[in-house]
Structure formats: structure tokens, C-alpha cells
Structure 1
Amino acid sequence: MIPRARHLAAAALSGVLLTLPALTGVAPAAQAASASKVQTVTLARTKADVQKVADYWKPDKLKDADSYSPAAPASEAAPASSSGAVSVSNQAIAALRKAQGTQNVAPVAPRQGAAKTMGKVFFRFGDKEYWCSASSVAARNLSVVATAAHCAYDPRQGKAADYWIFVPNPTNSGEMPDGIYVGSSISIHEDWVGKNDYDYDYAFVTVHRGFTWEKQGAKYVAKDVGRLQENVGGQGLELGKKAPVARVDAFGYPAGPQPDGTRPFNGTTLQTCVGSTRKAVAPSLELNFGVQLAPCNFSKGASGGPWLVDWQSARKLGNLVGVNSLTWNRDAKGEFDAVSSPYFGAVTGDVYRHAAAQKILSNVM
């Protein structure tokens, strides 16, 4: 029997604590046996849809964005019939594998300067605004963002987030120098949609061309700035990276309280954790193939931020191997001490390739 003091507490990055047994781990290779079942959810299909989202996030509203709540992940699943998600056929997945290949993806620098891939996503569930962390990922359509699934789709409601945008490299004053990118569609695994399974708490969101707000007289006018990857670059993607890994650099914008109530982070500054990995399970959250990174005291707000290997600090590029999903208080003390991600394997590659194959509008403004 495990002594009470040795029990581990894990939490979705919303801060909901759950008492769990010690980590036992399951070989990540076992996940490869799962069928690849990709689902897609439309966010903004037409120019009118994009304009509606843009109008919602006018500069005055964006200046208050840091006061919004970090997203709370779902705790129970909604009936599949109300999900709004559309399944992708096995034939379509096979075609994507043939067209795009199944190999890892190399990081790509922007047209000018160092990469600025990391940022925040802002969105609304119901009548409340939320935000999470995210990053741009290199893709054929130059328009893919990686984040946590709970930062884009809520199984409790059986619906995607409303007014979803990605803002790379936001400033503390609410300025968005590298553009605002409206979400076009979400690519996720059906077990997140139907089961709230944290083995699939990742989403690849295809985004439309970006824009910035320019003030002309008494009003603001949206100016097209082009595609995401051209402006900020894209992180690479490495699949099948099994724990243990000696070094992973994790990034995010944490803001929530620690278990003792303290708030060392305010959500306005990009934070980093550097550590090694091990396997992780959280049975109550259906996490059987998780990867845990320690040490790390990230709190809510860091959800969806990238895990990178082979990080090049000068170029600000590396290879994505996970996203912040759950935070852990392993020693049951006052501060979180680890964070975990779903395992990124072959199934993840299918979800990514589907997002990378989506088309976007050629002109949104």
C-alpha cells in the first residue's frame, strides 16, 4: 500500500485537483494500436464568419484580454450526437499519409528575423472569455496552431469554442504586433470529443490569414498581414519520442494559483520549464499514455503551450513533442512540481496532417 504522503495529485491546468495513485506507466508504443479517428469542427468558414470574429476582438477588448480566465477543461463528455464534429474517413487519412508522408516535420523560420511562434489563444464558451497558450507548427498550408484540446473544444457542451483566435508574441500592453489569426477549423481525436480522454488532449487548429488593427481617424481598420508561418515561423514536429527524455523545454503563460494559493505568475510573460520526462497515468482522466515533465511549477494558463526538444534558443525553434495538459503536485506540498502531456505518436500525426491539409480563405479582409 502506498503511504498517504506519497500519493500524487494531478490537475487539469484549470486547477481541479484529483488524488491519484503512484505512476505506473504504460508503454507509449501500445497507443499505436489505437485506430486513428480524426474529427474536424468548423470554426469560421466564410469571410463573413472571419469578419464577425475580428469585430468581436477589437483593440479595446484585446487590451483587457489578460484579465480573462485561463480555460477550464471539460470534466465529462456530452452525447456524440450534439458534438458538431465530423469524422474523417480512414481512406482520407490514408490519402493524407501518402500525400504528406509519415515522417517528422522540420521547424521553419519566418521570412524575416527569429521565430516568434509562441503566444495565446483567446476564445469564448457561453458568455465568458478564456485564454490558453499555443504555438505555430510548420505545415504545408503555413497555417497550423498546436494547443490543448480543452482550449478549443468542450465535450461537456458538445461544441467548439466561439470567437477563437491565435495571437503570437502578445505584448503586456495588449498589442498584437505579429497579427491576429482567426481559427478556421479544429482537428482533434474523436476520443476527446466523445470520452474526454486526456490521452488526446491536443488540437491542431487551422487558422486563416492574419490581420492587425490600424487606427484611421476615429475608427480601427483591419489590415491583412498574410499567413501565420510566413510571419512567425513554425515549430517542427517529432512523433514517437518515448520517455525518458533527458531534456525538454516547455513554454506557456501560467497565471493560476498554486495549491497553497500563491500566484507567482500573472499570465503576461512567457515562462519556461526545463526538465526530463517519465511516463505518467491518471486513471480518472483516462490518461494511460501520458508523459510527465519535471521540475515544473506551471499553473492554469499554461495549457496548450509547447514541449520542444532540440531547442535552439538563438533561432527560437525546436521540435514539438507535446503540449501542456495536466499539472501535478506529486509531493502534496504548496507548489505544483510537474506538468504532463499526452504522448505524441502516430495517431497525433494523423490529426496534425489533417489540419495541415485544410484550405483557408485567400483573402479575409
Structure 2
Amino acid sequence: MIPPVRRLLAAALFGALLVLPGFTGTFGLGGVARADTSVQTVSLAKTAADVQKVANYWKPDKLKKADNYSPATPATKPAATATSTAAATAGPVTKVLKGRSAPRVSPAAPKKGGVASTMGKVFFRFGDKEYWCSASSVAAGNRSVVATAGHCAYDPRQGVAAEYWIFVPNPGPNGETPNGIYVGSSISMHLDWAGKGDYDFDYAFVTVHRGFTWTEKDGRYVMTDVGRLQDNVGGEGLAINQKTGNVVIAFGYPAGPEPDGSRPYNGLALELCKGLTSWTVAPGLDLQKGVQLQPCSFTAGASGGPWLINYNPAQKLGDLTGINSLTWNRDAKGSYDAVSSPNFDSVTGEIYRHAAALTTPSKVT
């Protein structure tokens, strides 16, 4: 229950409300910098056999139930004693190269032409429970990069990556996968997300394998290759180091309840919010350079959905400048009224560049 006092509340878009100390406004953070700029990489499915294992987990009968899974992932920061363990078990660390110009990434239409279908859902498992989030395809040299929230791919509390991670662009309401299923190959994220659960870095770029669809043959399902993600659905551009005050459109598949218990969203339809950005902070989550978008009443399930500027509704393409990370109840009333994203800066560009350079097998079916 929300306390009957005016206070700034922030909650991870996936569940439990996190009450922060009382604040009275937003804060300018343009000069904030971090000393550690390292990319943490963790493998999800390396080989064709690994892909087959994940694919077998998400047969059509299971996908039909996927929207009933929880739009939720771990919400709290790891304990201080877990920090080094989480970082150590994530995978190799690559130092970001300083002094390089920010990557210039333009939106890409599908190879076959037509309207893009970059947005969709990611399905995965932590422990013995399935979850889902929102995500989008980003244009890249390897034609195989998905952007989502860090908490939709890696749990820093336990120091573990999500299992059975897949991206389904443009999902249907009954488990349909019209543009294919793409198994995650590896996660590229900031070291401070993996090790500390720092919400300044609650984003991940996931390199995915070639896609497939299930085809029924002789009474059983077989995998049919459909090619690279970007070739099939297109990819959003990437715009980093943006000023606040921009008009941004956020997309996602919200499904959870509002603070008053109402459920305006069902998680089956792609929803959008449009508003102006401003700086914000949440010290309890180490968020020191967050970007807030208001108004927006997104709930759980929208996590990882893209923030776009320069959006062309005819092509359904724009430039990615953030992802849904936290939802806010600024006036402590019945509905959320804002969402926030980590600031996409030059470090973000280097993490993206790392994910865009990774390769995957040429054949997985």
C-alpha cells in the first residue's frame, strides 16, 4: 500500500514496489561519470546443440502459455557480500576503449523490404520459474542484436544469467511467432550491473542466433531456419549522449497491476507512451544518472521495451535512446505516472559495439 504522504516512489517494472526516501523533484546529472567502464560478457547458448536444447524447451504448446508467465524478474540489489561473486561468475571482462567516437547507427529496414517489426518479447527462466519482458531489435553489423533491460537477462543478486532465453518479435496472442524465434547467444552488459545491480546500467545487448520457426512434419515439430534477426524484422538505430527535454516514445507490453490494484493492460498488445525526458535519481538503486519519461503509466511487463526518438510510424523505425527500467509513482496516487531508463552514454555505445561484433554459428537447425 502506498503511504498517505507525498513521496517519490520508484519500482522495478517487474514487481514489488520499492519505496525510496522522499524527494521533491528531479535533478540535473549531465556531468556524472563512472570510473569503471568495463563490458561483462556471459554466454547463453554457444553451439547448435545448445540452441536445440533451448528450442525444445519452447515448443509451440509451451509458447501458447507464455503470456501467462510472470512479467517479473528479481527486483532488489544484491547484498554487498555477493558483489564480487556475481561479477566473477558472469564471464570475461573487456575494458572499454576510451577516446573512440560514439557509434553512429542508423535504423535498418527488413532485407525483404516493407514495414519493420523490431519490437517483441523475451521469454526466459530464473530458477524453476518462467518470466517475460519487452525488447527490440537494434541494427548491427552482425544483424543479430536485441536490446532489453539488464534485469531481463541477468540476475545480479545470484550472479546468474537467465536460462532458455529467446526473443520473439511481433508475438501473437496465442504463442504465434510470425517472425521467428531467436535464441540468445551471449549477453553484453556493464560490469556494474553484473556485480552490483547498479540501475545506472540496467540494460543489456543480447547477441542472438539465427532464427527458426516450428514446422509440423509427420506428427512432430521440426525447426525451420528463417535467417538473421535484422534481415527479417529490421533494426532500430542507436542515439546516445542525448540531452533531456526530448520528446520520446516508449514501447512495451505492460501487464502487471497499478499501485491501486487495477489492471489497465493485459500484456498482449504493444503499448506506447509519449512524453518529455528529464533527469532523475534513485539512490537506493544506485541510479545517479537516470532519464525519466513522463507521463507514462506502464506496469510490469514493459521492462526492456525501447525508447525511440525520430520515430517514423510508417516504417516503424526510430533511434533507440533508452529502455524501460523503472516505473515511478511521483504523486503517490493510484497509478504509475512515469518510467525511467539508464542514461545511454558513450559507455553504452561501447557495450553495444561489443555485442554487434560477436559472431554466431552459420547453421543451428
Q: TM-score range by the shorter chain?
A: over 0.9
Matches within 5 A, 1:151-170: 151-170=152-171
Question: What does residue 218 of structure 1 align with?
Answer: 219
Paired with 2:165 and 2:358, the residues of 1 have a C-alpha distance of 17
Matches within 5 A, 1:202-213: 202-213=203-214
Provide the rounded CA distance (Å) in 1 between the counterparts of 2:69 and 2:53: 20
Give the 3 Å change call, closer, same or farther, for CA 193–26 of structure 1 in structure 2: farther
Determine the structure 1 residue equivalent to 2:349: 349
Secondary structure, counterpart of 2:194 in structure 1: helix
- Equivalents in 1 of 2:214, 2:309: separation in Å? 35
**Structure 2: where are the runs of 5+ without partners?**
none
1:85 matched to 2:86? The reply is: no
Aligned equivalents of 1:129 and 1:18: distance in 2? 22
Aligned residues: 356
State the AA in 2 paired with 1:49: D
Mapped to 1, the partners of 2:26 and 2:313 lie a distance apart of: 34
Helix, strand or coil: the match of 1:243? coil
- Give the AA of the match of 2:91: V
**Residues 226-263 of structure 1: CA distance to partner in whole angstroms, max 9, x if unpaired?**
00000000000001012121x10000000000000011
2:97 aligned residue: 94
Report the alpha carbon displacement of residue 301 of structure 1 after superposing the two structures with TM. 0.2
Cα contact 1:321–1:344 (8 A) shared by 2:
yes
- Mark the runs of 5 or more structure 1 residues left unpaired by the alignment: none
Q: Give, in whole Å, the separation in 1 of the partners of 2:118 and 2:35.
A: 31
Cα deviation digits, residues 102-157 of structure 1 (max 9, x gap): 23311100012110000000000001100000000000100000000000000111
Q: Which amino acid aligns with 2:115?
A: A
Q: CA deviation at 1:82?
A: 4.8
Name which of 15, 24, 27 aligns with 1:25: 27
CA-to-aligned-CA distance 1:63-99 (integer Å, 9 cap, x gap) = 0000000122341323433552224333xx439x86x
Q: State the match for 1:241 in structure 2.
A: 242
Partner of 1:200: 201
Partner of 2:125: 124
* 1:173 CA drift (Å): 1.8
Contact 1:133 1:303 in 2 (8 A): yes
Letter of the aligned partner of 1:299 in structure 2? T
Q: What whole-Å deviation, never above 9, does each CA across 1:277-321 have from its counterpart, x for those lacking one?
A: 111101101101000001100000000000000100000000000
SS at match of 2:85: helix
Partner of residue 227, structure 1: 228
Would you say 1:65 and 2:70 are equivalent positions?
no
- Equivalent residue, structure 1, for 2:289: 289
Q: How far does residue 350 in structure 1 lie from its aligned partner after superposition?
A: 1.1
Amino acid at match of 1:80: S
Letter in 1 for 2:30: P
Is 1:258 the counterpart of 2:258? The answer is yes
| Inter-partner Cα distance in structure 2 for 1:88 and 1:159 | 15
Residues 308-319 of structure 1: pairs in structure 2 closer than 5 A: 308-319=308-319
2:27 alignment partner, SS class: coil
Post-superposition shift, 1:14?
Answer: 1.8
Question: Equivalent residue for 2:141?
Answer: 140
Contact 1:147–1:203 (8 Å) recurs in 2: yes
Identity %: 63
* C-alpha separation in 2, matches of 1:225 and 1:28: 43
Cα offset, 1:24, TM superposition: 4.0
Is 1:52 aligned with 2:57? Answer: no
Write the distance in 2 (CA, Å) between the matches of 1:342 and 1:319: 16
In structure 2, the residue matched to 1:329 is 329
> What code does the residue aligned with 1:30 have?
V
Q: Partner of 2:32: helix, strand, or coil?
A: helix
1:6 shift after superposition = 3.1
RMSD (Å) for aligned C-alpha atoms? 1.6
Secondary structure of the equivalent of 2:352?
Answer: helix
Farther off after superposition, 315-324 or 65-74: 65-74
Structure 1 residue 267: deviation in Å?
A: 0.4
Equivalents in 2 of 1:255, 1:166: separation in Å? 18
- Residue 126 of structure 1 aligns with an amino acid whose one-letter code is G
- Preserved CA contact (<8 Å) 1:76 1:156: yes
Instruction: Determine the structure 2 residue equivalent to 1:306.
Output: 306
Q: Any conservation in 2 of the 1:253–1:302 contact (CA below 8 Å)?
A: yes
| Offset of residue 15 of structure 1 | 2.8
